[in-house]
Amino acid sequence: MRIALSQFTSGPDPEKNLELIEDGARRAAEAGARVVVFPEASMACFGTPLAPVAEPLDGPWANEVRALAVAAGIVVVAGMFTPAPEGRVANTLLATGPGVEAAYDKIHLYDAFGYAESDTVAAGSRIVTIDVDGVRIGLATCYDVRFPELFRAHADEGAVATVLAASWGAGPGKREQWELLVRARALDATVWVAAVDQADPAAGGVVADASAPTGIGYSMVAGPDGTVRDCLGAEPGLLLADLSVDEVAAVREKTSVLANRRLGRAS
């Protein structure tokens, strides 16, 4: 199955960001992709007050994403913010398009490297997968990549791939950690990991809030053997990848890490 990763820099205006999603969905569909994944915070960049822009899943912004997905004939996965109790929001991935309607709220919040996502965001608790053309795909967001149990849970539920939407924080060693973690999650769950980050704002001439995780680029696809199959640079771009279900089966036959687990195995 062909998927696309649309790496861009979102701004604070949800309406303008819809234009980026429309363009990315159209280009991905024209290239034959069945799924296009946009970054975390596609609705509005971090560094923006989130509560005022948050909308429910049946609100205008999500409905417009649904319309764009239908018009392009492709499944769209995009990061948005939905209202949560006590004035906070949920960091939500909306997955919508032909035969697909799901939402995942980020489970692991980015309370690290001097940033406290939990100050404004409520954590999710539910593992979510989607089925596209008979292929099961898990949903994950950014800081989730540091927690291998989520990716193994996707595999336990029959997923052969996980899509990871991110707005990765910049800093010393962070690019190296990004690649290492994406590859490690692919290898220890024996799944494809298709990881799309926000483009580095500086690469596109955008001035961003330096205190917020606004992306570094370098979206990538890692195979179930942990090897990087393709990667973008820091600037905006579209990455296309063909994910083989048969390769997952072959890797799992050789590297039986899921079958050989003694701890944390699904019952």
Given 22, 40, 55, 117, the catalytic residue: 40
Given 45, 55, 106, 117, the catalytic residue: 106
> Token pair for residue 62?
């999500």
Instruction: Judge contact between 22 and 64, C-beta under 8 A.
Output: no
Give yes or no: 40 in active site: yes
C-alpha 91/C-alpha 93 separation (Å) is: 7
Q: Which stretches of the chain are assigned E, i.e. beta strand?
A: 2-7, 35-37, 75-83, 89-97, 100-105, 111-112, 115-116, 121-122, 129-132, 135-141, 161-166, 192-197, 220-222, 228-231, 237-242
Instruction: Judge contact between 133 and 173, C-beta under 8 A.
Output: no
Residues designated as active site: 40, 106, 142
